[in-house]
């Protein structure tokens, strides 16, 4: 008797937990969308936040360069290695260049750059804004006649949206160079053929769709991370939670939105 | 350096890299390239992409710049590197490189070295890959017709009556050839002369071809060029033929009498042949009228229509996914213990590539097991002998199988009891290894339970229709040497094969 | 003058302010006292428009800020200066930038004058030559003073102080108290201070209001409050562990009876 009640309570508790999670997720999504609307509407209003945008571009772009470039290089290298091993089995090693170039530009460049930026920049945005929130700095902004969305979030979103495609351009380049290095210097591919194949099937569309994706990733990462920072509560611990949520949510959103964009764009 | 400058350089560098990429991959890059354009039309440009290679003698000389539809043919715009000269009578073909079938345009250079194609010119001569495909298709259609013809012949002569008629024909032909032989024997010298003439004729012919070897070589690539050449050489050929026919008529004139006899003999032979054909005709007529089993099958319209409607129904049902495929196989396994043969016949219906149903019959030499014990008393000591006998037994199997890429999982009835099986395909599906387990509630001699019947096997396809098999049967059994090695072979037919085997059906629709 | 009428604010099911009434006279310093977690901060955040109340009105010179849209609020907020409990200095900026923040945002002075203005405001809170320091390098009292300088930078006519003396040593607390008084005198600003530090309240207040259970239960001059007959107020101002406040609160009961 007691056992069965306990079990029932457990099941109900589980359902409640699930419900809470889903409810929280829907609330989050709604809040993020509202934030997006606010960002867009305050984007056009003066004063322009150009100095802040430049500052955030440095933070998101230049500071993320090392991690994104190292990731991209090794991605290209491992891609070449794996494709080479696979294609050797049916004598199509000349296609390694094409495969590396296409995979990097269409998919892996934007996605890995997005994930790296989620981890690095998303965390720092959430932590910074979260700290500002719990120490009332955001309230202070409001009393100083400043819209915190415009002052804090707009520059981050704009900077990430602009800068991520730039990062991806470098990631594309280094990924291809990494693939070239492995294929030509380690696997002994013909360098001329490799370069020719790299460009033969690569179309401008492949590159720009990757850049469009990257732009959207940048926007989503900044929006999500800023949102989680903005709603942080409960001191240092709350900031920590917000940071974790921001990184998890923005990484997931990168992959989810990637699927939908890919299915719409190609 | 100020923050603004750093960000500016960062963005600028990105733009430079992007511009570099853009020029490498886009059409602008191509336009910036030197070279001139040519066009060439094909019936089909299937497999070609813009930027596919254009090669001459295997050397890249340009790229395909554009592919578009003009009328109902594919027009390719080629960009050829500066300084490459292409003779005006060159031939364009679409060729395949490597196993993956990367397509490129091969220009087979013409002979007219004086005149080259100008910029913007058109490669007029082409060989479409579709022509080759069509040729293969036609050839196979012809092959089918021949097959059908021989099948109808064999069915005609398969009957007793036909056999008799065939005998008659053979006798008549024998008589005719005998007569012919006597004619020939009396005129050996003349035949020698005929042969000599033919010899000379063929020598002349080979001269003709020898003097045009160059052309013939080009022919392989260019049928049109070949036919042109042939056209130009035709008058000479005709005159040679005239000469030859003159000689032949001379020979005929010299032997008029003998030939008359020959013709008379042939006439008689053909009269007999007429008779034979009459009887063949009668057979056919009987078939037409629907007499005999074959005739029934061929002529019975109701049977036919019901058959076709049934097939249509099945097809409609099956077409949703894929055409139903049918396989029949027979296999023979020699078992080491006891040294006997086990036969299998299976019918497999495969509605989609990833699943199939099998029903089959197994003739198992140790299908039934019985034992008897007898006690013999020798010198007061009773000794118990037990004799164990195996008996043939017919069993049946019915399985549902599901394929997951290389792995097939099947289950159902195996040798009249419930069973499961796993199969894995290796070496491009030629080698199959697998394990079947069935008879999970097997009872032994003294109704002690035995482990299930587990069979490990490997099949290897030697050719499409013939395979060998081998393995270990009843692996788990510990009793009475039930565990045994086996070896065997089998034949199998897919539905294409079955159609030819059962080819008599479509003679008379 | 700030007139707060029937102000109610709840967070979820928890009612914090429940029909609060308060009138803040112009040019005077009104101190709101009350226990921790009684909603003093909520009151002052509502007053500056950081929080939106569910019901009631807050009229600033007759204009109800609870019904304003964001743009009007921004305009009204220029009249406010607020000192936060933890000073809430922007820690990515140095002291000078913090103080100059609103001046730059609102472009109140040409850039070359801003330094002078910042220097002036800092000297008003008794600081000099610290423009280049970062907030992390400052002590708690200095932070508060810089926060105060920032709050008065735009020369507001309403100042809000959220626990100005909390977390400071008594000497530094008194320095801040003196500053608040002198600012009222020099700027003539209307101010609301919330605190539970009675020493500070008696020193700076022109009027003291006691917040209890979401309502203002008594308002009076410091002298009236000190000699009140209301047992609740009396318990709070005298800082006694036993009394009507602690008798009704389980939290206190448990704590006290231990």
The model's pLDDT over B157-198, given as tens digits with 9 standing for 90+, comes to 566 766 676 667 667 667 766 666 666 566 666 666 666 666
pLDDT digits (tens, 9 = 90+) for C139-165: 888 888 888 888 888 888 888 888 888
Q: Are residues B359 and B447 both part of a single domain?
A: yes
C132 touches chain A (CB under 8 A): no
Distance separating alpha carbons of residues B504 and B245, to the nearest angstrom:
44
| Closest by CA position to A96, among listed A189, A207, A166, A174 | A189
Q: What is the dihedral of CA B452, B453, B457, B459, to 10 degrees?
A: -120
- Report the distance separating Cα B366 and Cα B391, nearest Å: 5
Q: Note the pLDDT of residue A95.
A: 81
CB contact under 8 A, C77 and A145: yes
B508 burial type by CB count under 10 A (0-12 exposed, 13-18 middle, 19+ buried): middle
C37 close to A (CB below 8 A): no
Contact list, C151 vs chain A (CB under 8 Å): 143
Q: Using one digit for the tens of pLDDT, what is the confidence trace for A214-258?
A: 999 999 999 999 999 988 888 888 899 999 989 999 999 999 999
- At residue B508, the pLDDT reads 38
pLDDT at B98 over 60: no
Q: Indicate the domain borders of chain C.
A: 1-79+156-172+180-222, 89-155, 228-258
Among A132, A137, A143, the residue with its CB nearest the CB of C77 is A143
Confidence band of B95 (pLDDT split at 50, 70, 90) = confident
What is the per-residue pLDDT across C6-54, written as a single tens digit (0 to 9) for each? 888 888 888 888 888 888 888 888 898 888 777 888 888 888 888 888 8
- DSSP string of B9-21, one letter each residue: HHHHHHHHHHHHH
DSSP readout, B288-308? HHT-HHHHHHHH-HHHHHHHH
- Max mean pLDDT among B82-96, B205-219, B295-309 falls in B82-96
Pair B21, B41 in one domain: no
* Residues with Cβ within 8 Å of residue B351, at least 6 apart in sequence: B318, B321, B322, B324, B325, B357
A238-242, B324-328, C21-25, C224-228: range with lowest mean pLDDT = B324-328
Residue with more model confidence, B375 or C204: C204
List residues bridging with C22 in a β-sheet. Answer: C4
The more confidently predicted of residues B222 and A253 is: A253
Dihedral sign of CA atoms B377, B379, B381, B387 in order? negative
pLDDT exceeds 80 at position B432: yes
CA-closest candidate to residue A113, choices A190, A217, A4:
A217
Label residue A202 exposed, middle or buried (CB < 10 Å: 0-12, 13-18, 19+).
Answer: buried
- In this prediction, residue B318 carries a pLDDT of 45
Choosing from B98, B127, B156, the residue where a domain stops is B127
Which chain B residue shows the shortest CA-CA distance from A105?
A: B21
Residue B89 domain flag: yes
The verdict on a CB contact (< 8 Å) between A143 and C86 is: no
| Chain A residues within an 8 Å CB radius of B26 | 203-204
Question: B293 or C218: which carries more pLDDT confidence?
Answer: C218
The pLDDT value given to residue C258? 43
Q: Tens digits of per-residue pLDDT, B33-58?
A: 567 888 888 887 777 777 778 888 88
pLDDT of the residue at A72: 92
- Cα(C222)–Cα(C228) distance, integer angstroms: 10
Instruction: Calculate the average pLDDT of chain B.
Output: 71
Residue B219 maps to a domain = yes
Q: Which of B424, B397, B398, B396 lies closest to B409 in space, CA to CA? A: B424
Q: Kindly state whether residues B327 and B470 are assigned to the same domain.
A: yes
Looking at the domain assignment, is residue B343 inside a domain?
Answer: yes
Averaged pLDDT, A101-127: 91
pLDDT at B369 over 70: no
Which residues, at least 6 apart from B389, have a Cβ–Cβ distance to it below 8 Å?
A: B369, B370, B371, B372
Query: Is residue B387 a part of any domain in this protein?
Result: yes
Per-residue model confidence (pLDDT) at position B411: 87
Greater confidence (B353 vs A16) lies with: A16
Phi, psi of A107 (to 5 degrees): -130, -60
Q: Which residues are B41's β-sheet partners? A: B75
Residue B308 lies in a domain: no
A-C CB pairs within 8 A amount to 58
Q: What is the pLDDT of residue B219?
A: 45
Q: pLDDT tens, A130-145?
A: 999 998 899 888 888 8
Alpha-carbon Rg of chain C, whole angstroms? 19
Does a structural domain hold residue B298? no
Lowest mean pLDDT of B313-317, B326-330, B354-358, C226-230, name the range: B313-317
The residues pairing with C224 across neighbouring beta strands, listed in sequence order, are none
Is residue B321 over pLDDT 50? no
Q: Are residues B37 and B15 in the same domain?
A: no
Residue B478 to residues B414, B482, C164, Cα–Cα distance (Å): 21, 7, 92
Residues of C in contact with A143 (CB under 8 A): 48, 50, 77, 80-82, 151, 160
Residue B24 has its nearest CB partner, among A55, A163, A199, at A199
A26 pLDDT above the threshold of 80: yes
- Over residues A197-226, the mean pLDDT reads 87
Q: Is residue C223 very low, low, confident or very high in pLDDT (cuts 50, 70, 90)?
A: confident
d(CA B230, CA B212): 9
Specify whether B118 is located in the same domain as B176: no
C101 interfaces chain A, CB cutoff of 8 Å:
yes
C88/A147 CB distance under 8 A:
no
Note the pLDDT of residue A222.
92
CA–CA separation, A63 vs A56, rounded Å? Answer: 10
Read off the pLDDT band of C256 (50, 70, 90): very low
Closest CA to C121 of C102, C148, C142, C81: C148
Residues in A 13-72 with any Cβ partner in C closer than 8 A: 47
Residue C250 reports pLDDT greater than 60:
no
B13 and B38 within one domain: no
Q: Where are the alpha helices (DSSP H) in B187-255?
A: 188-211, 213-221, 223-254
DSSP A201: S
> Residue C140 burial by CB count (10 A; 0-12/13-18/19+): exposed, middle or buried?
middle
Same domain, B236 and B118: no
What integer is the mean pLDDT of B457-484?
80
* B206 and B65 together in one domain: no
- The answer to whether residue B322 scores a pLDDT higher than 50 is no
Residue A135 touches chain C, beta carbons under 8 Å? yes
Cβ contact, residue pair C88, A47, below 8 Å? no
Nearest to C52 by CA among A146, A142, A126: A142
More confident: A92 or B304: A92
Going from N- to C-terminal start, the domains of chain A cover 48-265
Of B20, B36, B38, give the one whose Cα is nearest residue A198: B20
| Number of neighbouring beta carbons within 10 Å of residue B319 | 10
Return the minimum-mean-pLDDT range out of B204-208, B214-218, B390-394: B214-218
Chains A & B: contacts with CB separation below 8 Å: 67
- Interval A58-109: pLDDT, tens: 888 888 889 999 999 999 999 988 888 888 887 777 788 888 888 998 889 9
Segment C178-204 mean pLDDT: 85
Residue pair C126/C161 in contact by the 8 Å Cβ criterion: no
C11 to chain A: which residues are within 8 Å by CB?
Answer: none
Q: Establish if A144 touches chain C: CB-CB under 8 angstroms.
A: yes
Residue A233 in contact with partner chain C when CB distance is under 8 A: no
Distance CA C153, CA B237 (A): 114
Strands C80-83 and C158-162: parallel
- Is A66 in CB contact (< 8 Å) with chain B? no
pLDDT above 90 (res A195): no
Residue A211: partners with Cβ closer than 8 Å, 6 or more residues away = A110, A165, A168, A169, B18
β-strands B59-70, B73-80: how paired?
antiparallel
Q: Is C68 part of the contact surface with chain A (CB cutoff 8 Å)?
A: no
CA dihedral B128, B132, B133, B138 (to 10 degrees): 130
Phi-psi group of A188: left, alpha or beta (phi > 0 → left; psi -120 to 50 → alpha; rest → beta): left
CB-based contacts of B357, cutoff 8 Å, min separation 6 = B348, B349, B350, B351, B398, B399, B400, B401
Q: Mind telling me how many Å the CA of B430 is from chain A's nearest CA?
A: 17
- Specify whether the CB–CB gap between C33 and C196 falls below 8 A: yes
Strand pairing report for B53-56 and B102-108: parallel
Q: Which of C94-103, C114-123, C128-137, C241-250 has the lowest mean pLDDT?
A: C241-250
Looking at residue A75, its pLDDT comes to 92
Q: Please give the full DSSP string across B307-366, using - where no structure is assigned.
A: HHHHHHHHHHHHHTTS--EEEEEEEEEEETTTTEEEEEEEEEEEEETTEEEEEEEEEEEE
Cα separation of C49 and C56, whole Å? Answer: 13
Residues of chain C neighbouring A148 (CB-CB closer than 8 A): none
Residue of B nearest to A90 (CA): B99
Let me know: does B212 contact B236? Beta carbons within 8 Å.
no
C102:A142 CB<8 A:
no
The pLDDT assigned to A221 comes to: 93
Domain span at residue B47 reads: 33-127
- Whole-angstrom CA distances from B352 to A38, B322, B494, C198 are 54, 6, 14, 87
Pick from C74, C21, C69: nearest CA to C48: C74
Mutation to test the C interface, candidates A140, A141, A149, A236, most C Cβ within 10 Å: A140
Backbone angles phi, psi at B446, to 5 degrees: -95, 45
SS3 B111: coil
Indicate if B260 and B171 belong to the same structural domain. yes
Query: What residues of chain A lie within 8 A of the CB of B51, using their CB?
Result: 200-201
Distances (CA, A) of A175 to A77, A78, A170, B11: 7, 10, 8, 19
List, in order, residues 6 or more apart from B147 with CB less than 8 Å away.
Answer: B500, B503
Instruction: Please check whether residues B221 and B119 belong to one and the same domain.
Output: no
Backbone angles phi, psi at C194, to 5 degrees: -115, 135
Residues in chain C: 258
Average pLDDT over residues B342-355: 82
Say which residue the tokens 């910036």 belong to.
B32
pLDDT confidence band for A169 (50 / 70 / 90): very high
B297 domain residue, yes or no:
no
Touch between chain C and chain B (3+ CB pairs, < 8 Å)?
no
Q: Chain B 64-123, CB below 8 Å of chain A: which residues?
A: 98-100
Question: For residues B204-237, b (16+ Cβ closer than 10 Å) or e, as one string?
Answer: eeeeeeeebeebeebbeebeebbeebeeeeeeee
CA torsion, ordered A235, A239, A240, A241, to nearest 10 deg: 100
Closest approach of A57 to chain B, Cα-based (Å)? 7
CB contact under 8 A, A143 and C101: no
Q: B134-148, B485-499, C71-85: which range is least confident on average?
A: B134-148
Q: How far is A186 from chain C (nearest CA, A)?
A: 48
Q: Which CATH number fits domain C1-79+156-172+180-222: 3.40.50.720, 3.40.718.10, 2.60.40.60, 3.40.50.300?
A: 3.40.50.300
Return the SS3 of C215.
Answer: strand
**Looking at chain B, which subunits does it touch, using at least 3 CB pairs closer than 8 Å as the criterion?**
A
* Mean of pLDDT values over B321-340: 75
pLDDT score of B264: 66
Are both B196 and B248 inside the same structural domain? yes
Is B224 inside a domain boundary?
yes
**Which of A173, A180, A209 has the most B C-beta neighbours within 10 Å, making it the best mutation to test the interface with B?**
A173
Average pLDDT, chain C: 83
Q: Which residue in A57, A91, A199 is closest to B7 by CB distance?
A: A57
Predicted ipTM of the assembly: 0.83
Pick the closest to residue C164 from C29, C63, C73 (CA basis). C29
Q: Is the CB of residue A65 less than 8 Å away from at least one CB of chain B?
A: yes
| 3-class state of residue B403 by DSSP | strand
Q: Other C-beta atoms within 10 Å of A68: how many?
A: 24
Closest CA to C146 of C169, C168, C171, C121: C121
């Amino acid at each position: 008797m007691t056992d069965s009640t306990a079990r029932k309570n457990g099941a109900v508790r589980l359902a409640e937990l699930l419900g809470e999670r889903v409810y929280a997720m829907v609330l989050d999504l709604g809040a993020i969308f509202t934030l997006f609307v606010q960002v867009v509407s305050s984007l056009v209003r003066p004063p322009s936040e150009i100095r802040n945008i430049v500052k955030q571009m440095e933070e998101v772009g230049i500071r993320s360069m090392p991690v994104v470039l190292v990731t991209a290089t090794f991605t290209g290298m491992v891609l070449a290695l794996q494709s080479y091993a696979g294609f050797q089995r049916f004598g199509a090693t000349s296609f390694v260049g094409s495969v590396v170039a296409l995979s990097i530009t269409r998919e892996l460049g934007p996605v890995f750059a997005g994930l790296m930026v989620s981890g690095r920049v998303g965390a720092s945005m959430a932590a910074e804004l979260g700290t500002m929130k719990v120490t009332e700095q955001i309230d202070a902004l409001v009393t100083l006649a400043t819209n915190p969305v415009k002052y804090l979030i707009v520059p981050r979103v704009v900077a990430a949206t602009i800068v991520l495609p730039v990062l991806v351009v470098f990631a594309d380049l280094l990924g291809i160079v990494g693939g070239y290095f492995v294929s030509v210097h380690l696997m002994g591919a013909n360098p001329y053929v490799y370069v020719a194949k790299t460009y033969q099937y690569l179309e401008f569309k492949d590159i720009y769709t990757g850049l469009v994706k990257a732009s959207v990733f940048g926007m989503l990462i900044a929006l999500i991370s800023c949102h989680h920072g903005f709603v942080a509560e409960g001191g240092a611990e709350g900031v920590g939670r917000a940071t974790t949520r921001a990184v998890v949510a923005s990484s997931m959103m990168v992959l989810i939105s990637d699927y939908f964009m890919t299915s719409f764009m190609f | 350096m100020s923050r603004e400058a750093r960000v500016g350089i960062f963005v600028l560098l990105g733009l430079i890299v992007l511009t570099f990429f853009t020029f490498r991959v886009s059409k602008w890059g191509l336009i910036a390239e030197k070279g001139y354009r040519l066009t060439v039309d094909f019936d089909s440009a299937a497999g070609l992409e813009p930027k596919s290679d254009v090669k001459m003698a295997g050397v890249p000389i340009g790229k395909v710049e554009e592919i578009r539809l003009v009328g109902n043919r594919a027009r390719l715009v080629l960009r050829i590197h500066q300084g490459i000269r292409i003779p005006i009578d060159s031939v364009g073909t679409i060729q395949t490189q490597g196993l993956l079938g990367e397509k490129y345009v091969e220009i087979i250079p013409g002979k007219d070295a004086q005149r080259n194609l100008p910029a913007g010119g058109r490669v007029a001569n082409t060989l479409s890959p579709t022509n080759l495909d069509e040729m293969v298709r036609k050839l196979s259609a012809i092959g089918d017709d021949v097959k059908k013809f021989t099948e109808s012949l064999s069915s005609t002569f398969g009957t007793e009556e036909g056999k008799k008629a065939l005998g008659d024909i053979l006798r008549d032909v024998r008589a005719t050839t005998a007569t012919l032989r006597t004619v020939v024997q009396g005129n050996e010298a003349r035949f020698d002369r005929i042969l000599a003439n033919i010899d000379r004729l063929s020598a002349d012919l080979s001269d003709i071809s020898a003097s045009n070897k160059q052309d013939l070589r080009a022919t392989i690539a260019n049928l049109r060029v070949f036919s042109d050449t042939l056209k130009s050489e035709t008058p000479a050929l005709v005159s040679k033929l005239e000469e030859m026919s003159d000689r032949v008529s001379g020979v005929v004139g010299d032997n008029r009498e003998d030939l008359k006899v020959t013709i008379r003999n042939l006439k008689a032979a053909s009269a007999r042949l007429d008779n034979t054909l009459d009887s063949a005709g009668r057979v056919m007529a009987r078939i037409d009228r629907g007499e005999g089993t074959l005739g029934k099958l061929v002529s019975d319209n109701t049977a036919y229509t019901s058959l076709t409607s049934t097939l249509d129904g099945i097809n409609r049902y099956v077409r949703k996914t894929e055409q139903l495929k049918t396989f029949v196989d027979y296999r023979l396994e020699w078992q080491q213990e006891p040294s006997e043969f086990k036969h299998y016949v299976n019918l497999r219906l495969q509605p989609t590539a990833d699943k199939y149903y099998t029903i089959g019959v197994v003739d198992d030499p140790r299908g039934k097991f019985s034992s008897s014990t007898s006690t013999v008393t020798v010198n007061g000591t009773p000794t118990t002998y037990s004799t164990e006998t195996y008996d043939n037994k017919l069993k049946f199997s019915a399985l549902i199988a599901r394929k997951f890429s290389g792995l097939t999982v099947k289950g159902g009835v195996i040798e009249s009891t419930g069973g499961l099986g796993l199969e894995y395909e290796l070496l491009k599906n030629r080698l199959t290894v697998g394990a079947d387990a069935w008879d999970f509630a097997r009872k032994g001699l003294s109704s002690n339970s035995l482990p299930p019947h587990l069979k490990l096997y490997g099949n290897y396809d030697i050719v499409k229709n013939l395979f060998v098999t081998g393995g270990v049967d009843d692996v788990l059994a510990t009793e009475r040497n039930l565990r045994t090695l086996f070896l065997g072979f089998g034949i199998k037919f897919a539905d294409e094969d079955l159609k030819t085997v059962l080819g008599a059906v479509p003679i008379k629709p | 003058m700030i007139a707060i009428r029937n102000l109610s604010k709840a967070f979820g099911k928890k009612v914090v302010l429940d029909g609060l009434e308060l009138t803040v006279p112009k040019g005077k310093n009104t101190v709101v006292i009350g226990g921790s977690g009684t909603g003093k901060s909520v009151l002052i955040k509502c007053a500056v428009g950081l929080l939106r109340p569910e019901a009631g009105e807050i009229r600033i010179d007759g204009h109800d800020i609870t019904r304003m849209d964001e743009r009007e609020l921004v305009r009204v907020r220029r009249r406010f200066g607020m000192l936060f409990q933890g000073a809430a200095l922007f820690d990515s900026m140095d002291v000078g930038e913090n103080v100059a923040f609103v001046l730059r945002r609102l472009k109140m002075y040409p850039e070359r004058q801003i330094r002078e203005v910042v220097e002036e405001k800092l000297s008003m809170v008794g600081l000099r030559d610290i423009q280049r320091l970062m907030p992390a390098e400052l002590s708690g009292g200095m932070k508060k003073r810089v926060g105060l300088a920032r709050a008065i930078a735009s020369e507001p006519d309403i100042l809000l102080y959220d626990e100005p003396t909390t977390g400071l040593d008594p000497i530094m607390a008194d320095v801040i108290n003196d500053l608040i008084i002198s600012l009222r005198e020099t700027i003539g600003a209307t101010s609301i201070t919330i605190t539970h530090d009675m020493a500070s309240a008696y020193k700076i207040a022109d009027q003291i209001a006691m917040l209890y259970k979401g309502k203002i239960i008594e308002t009076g001059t410091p002298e009236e409050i000190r000699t009140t007959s209301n047992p609740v107020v009396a318990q709070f101002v005298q800082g006694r562990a036993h009394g009507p406040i602690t008798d009704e609160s389980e939290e206190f009961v448990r704590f006290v009876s231990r």
